Amino acid sequence: MANVADRSETSTIDRTVWTTTPTCRICRAAWNMAPGMIAAGKDGKAIFVRQPETPDEMMQVWRAALACPTGSILAPRGLPVPDHVFPEELAPNLYRLGYNDNATAGAHPFFIRTSTGLNVLVDGPRYVEKLVEFFEQQGGLDHVLLTHRDDVGASAKYAKRFGARLWIHENDREASPEATDILTGYDITEPIPGVTVIPIPGHTIGSVAFLADERLFVGDSLNWLIDEKRLWTNPLRCWDDWDMQRRSLKRLQDFRFDYLLAGHGGSIGLPAERMQAELATCLDALDETTWQPLTHFPNGVPIPDEMKQFWQTEVPRAKADFFAAMSRT
C-alpha cells in the first residue's frame, strides 16, 4: 500500500483495532478520507480518535489506509481489504483515485471523463495495477494534467503506459522532464477541447487550475476545510509568493464550477452560486492575511540556499509576467 514505511515497530502496536504508526508524515490525507475518526495527535501525526461503527465509516478508513503514502494506517490484523475502495466516485465521471504518492507529500489525484469524451488524469498517484486496470476499463488516458511541481508522482509512468499527453506549466517544468506539452505564460487558455487552463501562481510560480465540466482542479492552491466547512489556503504552505497567490485566486470568481478538487485538504461539491459565495468569503479573509517567505519546511528542515536564490531570481520575473497578464484582462 505504501511508498515508504518502516514496519519494524508494528509488533508493539495493538493490531486488534484500527491504529496508526509513527511513520505518518502529517500529509493529512488520512483524515481527509476519514474525518471524525482520524485526527492529529499531540505531535501532529495521525491517530484514531474513535473506531469505525458503520459500513460507510469502514469504507472511509479503508480509503484512508490505501491513500496513506507511508502505510501509517493499519487495519486490524487479518481484516481483508474490500473491493472497490478506490477509485472513489465523487460525481458522475469524476473520481478521487487514492494511492497517494509519498513523492507528492500525499496529495490527492483525480480522474475525469469529460463531456468532450476525453479521459484525464489530474496529478500523479503511485503507480499501481489497480489504477492501471481502472484506466484500461475506461478506455485509457488521453491527457495527464499536472497542477504544479509538487504533485507529479508517477504521472509520467501512466502517461507512457497509455500514450497520453503530459502537461505542466513552463515555470514548474523541471519537476516533470518527461512532459510532452508545456503551458506557457499566465493568460487563461483552452489548449485541450473542454479544458480551461487558469494559471494561479503563488503556491508555486507554475501553479495552474484546470476547469472541465464545471469541475475545478486547484492543486495545492485552495482547499475545503472539512471541520470548519469553508474554503481556505494556508499561507504556511505558500512556497513562492503570497501576493501572487491571493491575486491569482481572484481569477476563479470569473468561472462557474460546482466541484472543487484539492490536492491537499478537502474537496467539496456545492451549487455554483454557493461555491462563489464561499470563494468570496475566503478571498476577503486572504486579503487580511499576512505572509513572510518561509524559513523552514513543515518537517522543520531549513529552506535550502538554492530555493532562496530561486525566490530572488525567478519569482520576481514570474511576478512581472503574471501582473502583465492580469493587466491585459
Q: How do residues 72-117 score in pLDDT, each as one tens digit?
A: 999 999 999 999 999 999 999 999 999 999 999 999 999 999 999 9
pTM: 0.94
Contacts of 41 (CB under 8 A, 6+ apart): 47
Q: H or E segment at 287? A: helix 272-287
Of 38, 5, 41, give the one whose Cα is nearest residue 23.
5
User: Where does the pLDDT of residue 67 fall: very low under 50, low under 70, confident under 90, or very high at 90 and above?
Assistant: very high
All three cell numbers of 53, joined, read: 461503527
Checking if the pLDDT of 6 tops 70, the result is no
Among the listed ranges 26-35, 47-56, 219-228, 291-300, which one has the minimum average pLDDT value?
291-300
What is the pLDDT at residue 2?
A: 43
Helix/strand/coil for 94: strand
Same structural domain for residues 190 and 253? yes
Residue 149 lies in a domain: yes
Q: H or E segment at 28? A: none
Burial of 288 (0-12, 13-18, 19+ CB in 10 A): exposed
Of 127, 200, 140, give the one whose Cα is nearest residue 169.
200
Task: Output the domain CATH number for residue 201.
Answer: 3.60.15.10
Residue 273 backbone phi and psi in degrees, to 5: -65, -40
What is the pLDDT at residue 266?
A: 95
Selected residue with higher pLDDT from 269 and 300: 269
Same structural domain for residues 44 and 95? no
Same structural domain for residues 48 and 155? no
Contacts of 170 (CB under 8 A, 6+ apart): 182, 183, 184, 185, 206
Residue 313 lies in a domain: no
Q: How confident is the model over 250-275, as a mean pLDDT? A: 97
Residue 144 lies in a domain: yes
Of 226, 242, 172, give the one whose Cα is nearest residue 37.
226
Q: H or E segment at 325? A: helix 305-327
Measured CA to CA, the distance from residue 203 to residue 210 in angstroms comes to 15
CA distances to 48, 87, 184, 256 from 67, in Å? 16, 10, 32, 29
Same structural domain for residues 122 and 261? yes
Q: How confident is the model over 202-223, as a mean pLDDT? A: 98
Same structural domain for residues 136 and 69? no
Task: Output the domain CATH number for residue 26.
Answer: 3.30.70.20
Name the average pLDDT for the chain. Answer: 94
What 8-state DSSP symbol labels residue 301? P
Of 99, 134, 214, 121, give the one whose Cα is nearest residue 168.
121
Q: How confident is the model over 6-19, as a mean pLDDT? A: 69
Please give the residue range of the domain that contains residue 135.
Answer: 88-305
Residue 271 lies in a domain: yes
Contacts of 36 (CB under 8 A, 6+ apart): 49, 50
Measured CA to CA, the distance from residue 259 to residue 267 in angstroms comes to 8
Which of 46, 74, 102 represents a domain boundary (last residue)? 74
Residue 11 lies in a domain: yes
Measured CA to CA, the distance from residue 288 to residue 294 in angstroms comes to 18
